[in-house]
Amino acid sequence: MDSKHGADSGPSSSRSATSTRKHHRNKHESGHHEENATETDSFWYQSLQTPPPSNFTPGMILLLKKALLNSHSRGKTRRAVLCFDRTVYVSGQSWDAGWGCGYRNFLMSCSALMDQHFQPMYFPLLDSPISPSVRQLQWWLEVAWSSGFDVQGAAQLSPLVDSKKWIGVSDLYTAFSSRGIPCELVDFNYKQSFRGNNALMEWIVDYFLPPTEIRRPTNLTEALMNPSVTCTEKMPIILQDGWHSRTVVGYEEISDSTVNLLVFDPSRRPRSKIRKAALDITDAASARVEDELLHDALKLFRYKLFKNIFGKQWQILYFPMTEPLTEYQMEKRKFVTSTWA
């Protein structure tokens, strides 16, 4: 992919994505020699009246909130902030194992973007003429490339349709931009710095909780009015760590001031009891969940980042929730750019 960036921007994420793509193409394109698993390629979001597919789980944010409140009551969790609560957890399946994480994170983002009401025009842009799914995202990208988006990415990945080629957040930037959905890439490249994960964690905390809201309570009244676990209207973000990507749905500060990310990892599939608890909460928010199950659910979602890691590189894709892109803005986004944190 070509890069274009101004004085306040960092190197395009395309550079790191290029080498990662090559690794995954070598690793996974040989998959056609293996026995193919049955493909059940579908998409679902919570406003649909049909039951969710077996790898789509609504209610996970509400279950996570309940688990965090339980942890807070036990003195473990000090504070937690979560994204839009209608975000659906989408797990991978056997047929896309090893290469499908980017596609599944895309579907999790779409489940939120198509169910929110702040930018109602996002829905028709995402739903038509080709609605989301794993294979249809491959069509999205082919159509975008044929329109002049991300020439270098097209050279690396096309033909993509019906393949097992891994894609990264820079490819999702192209897919969303080509449909008029505003999104942004941020690079955290600390190969030459011990700052490591600290900048990433600070960015994520600021994203989910703006600085004006971070101020700690100064008296008991403020403390009582300050909820320990908050669901926001923020969209989830996609976090890429070289070869794998996850959907970040919030963060948790525990009693020793350590901060954990809260993630939906498409490579992990929740146990049937956890999934059932989430579905029950979707039907009735007051549904009772056993403490042990809440503990297990929180373990599934927690992702610990160690501070002061040397040589770590991360990329983020997030949605600023601004008006749909104009034709002029879409034209500019044919070149993939990112800011450098």
Please list the pLDDT of the chain residue by residue as tens digits (341 residues).
Answer: 333 333 334 444 444 444 445 444 444 443 333 445 789 899 999 999 999 999 999 999 999 999 999 999 999 999 999 999 999 999 999 999 999 999 999 999 999 999 999 999 999 999 999 999 999 999 999 999 999 999 999 999 999 999 999 999 999 999 999 999 999 999 987 776 667 688 899 999 999 985 555 455 554 444 444 579 999 999 999 999 888 999 999 999 998 988 999 999 999 999 999 999 999 998 876 778 899 999 999 999 999 887 656 567 899 999 999 999 999 999 999 999 999 88
Q: How many other β-carbons are positioned within 10 Å of the β-carbon of residue 285?
A: 12
Q: Is 83 a catalytic site residue?
A: no
Q: How far apart are CA 48 and CA 114, in angstroms?
A: 11
Count of CA atoms in the C-beta half-sphere (13 A) of 74: 12
CATH of domain 14-28+53-340: 3.90.70.130
The dihedral of CA 171, 173, 178, 181: what is its sign? positive
Predicted pLDDT at 182 = 99
Q: Which of 244, 280, 295, 296 is catalytic?
A: 244
Spell out the SS3 assignment of the chain: CCCCCCCCCCCCCHHHHHHHHHHHHHHHHHHHHCCCCCCCCCCCCCCCCCCCCCCEECCHHHHHHHHHHHHHHCCCEEEEEECCCCCCEECCCHHHCCCCHHHHHHHHHHHHHCCCCCCCCHHHHHHCCCCCCHHHHHHHHHHHHHCCCCHHHHHHHCCCCCCCCCCCHHHHHHHHHHCCCCCEEEEEEECCCCCCCHHHHHHHHHHHCCHHHCCCCCCHHHHHHCCCEEECCCCCEEEEECCEEEEEEEEEEECCCCEEEEEECCCCCCCHHHHHHHHHHHHCCCCCCCHHHHHHHHHHHEEECCCCCCCEEEEEEECCCCCCCCHHHHHHCCCCCCEEC
Cis before 159 (ω within 30):
yes
Predicted pLDDT at 8 = 38
Q: How many other β-carbons are positioned within 10 Å of the β-carbon of residue 196?
A: 19
Q: Which of 28, 96, 101, 115 is catalytic?
A: 101
Count of CA atoms in the C-beta half-sphere (13 A) of 324: 14
Q: Is 244 a catalytic site residue?
A: yes
- What's the pTM value of the predicted model, to 2 decimals? 0.87
Predicted pLDDT at 197 = 80
Q: Is 265 a catalytic site residue?
A: yes
Using CA atoms, how far residue 98 sits from 30, 35, 242, 266, in Å, is 12, 14, 14, 11
Interior angle at CA 240, CA 187 and CA 29, nearest 5: 125
Q: Which of 85, 96, 171, 265 is catalytic?
A: 265
Predicted pLDDT at 210 = 58
Task: Decide if 55 contacts 90 (C-beta within 8 A).
Answer: yes
